[in-house]
Amino acid sequence: MSGNKIGSLDRALVHINDSSSLMFGGFGGIGNPPTLIKAIFDKGVRNLTLIGNDAGFPSIGIGKLVSQGRAKKLIVSHIGSNPVAGQLMLENKLSVEFSPQGTLAERIRAGGVGIAGIITDVGLDSIVEQGKQKVMILEKEYLIETALTADVSIVYAKKADTFGNLIYETSARNTNPLVAMAGRYTIAEVEEIVELGELDPEAIITPGVYIDLVIQSKGIDWKWAWQ
């Protein structure tokens, strides 16, 4: 493991190709890594399995990949903010696996810590339980929800040091710390990069051991987003 994980956008893109599973941080676009998403789009990557909280908005964040038909499957808690995703689903052009938001977060966390799955009573006696195994524990029934991992995770952070320790900004933290743990290869896009030792250890949320590559963010390209 390299002590210095700072790299280029080109190096990041080597790991993201057609038919990859891609897990992303963010909540309604907040906390999505904009530079990485644009680069994935520009590379022409298709048939992605996208795993994250939601489908974003049609022109913002991960939603741009969804609305332009670059994904074959979503594993999300909702798609309501992206009507294009709903239309693609109804036209059978996009497979969507819905997972209650808390359950989704726990499935990602389980994947990150190496647990095969979780048990929950959320979704019993509803459409959520279809096709899932059930268990009885202390005379109570639970669903087994499998853990989630991905070929690549992409996250967005406020600051990183050269080893990949991350600090997030307020609500942009959202699902990013969980997603950072669950990728077989994790790329962090950050606003500011500092030398090792410059971050307050008490402020670090994601330890660098989970991060494989750090790239400098260029921010949101609004002209591209609204094309």
Which amino acid belongs to residue 114?
Answer: G
CATH code linked to domain 9-225: 3.40.1080.10
Q: How confident is the model at residue 4 (pLDDT cuts 50, 70, 90)?
A: very high
Q: Whole-model pTM?
A: 0.94
Q: How confident is the model at residue 1 (pLDDT cuts 50, 70, 90)?
A: very low
Distance CA 143, CA 135 (A): 7
Q: Give yes or no for residue 129 having a pLDDT over 70.
A: yes
Q: Give yes or no for residue 50 having a pLDDT over 50.
A: yes
Q: Give yes or no for residue 220 having a pLDDT over 90.
A: no
pLDDT digits (tens, 9 = 90+) for 60-109: 889 999 999 999 999 999 999 999 999 999 999 999 999 999 999 999 99
CA distances from 177 to 17, 19, 154, 226 (A): 23, 24, 11, 28
Q: Give yes or no for residue 222 having a pLDDT over 90.
A: no
Query: For 171-189, what is the mean pLDDT?
Result: 97
The fraction of the chain above a pLDDT of 90, given in percent, is 90
Ordered by start, the domain boundaries in the chain are 9-225
pLDDT of residue 127: 85
pLDDT of residue 2: 55
Nearest to 68 by CA among 37, 36, 33: 37
Average pLDDT, the chain: 95
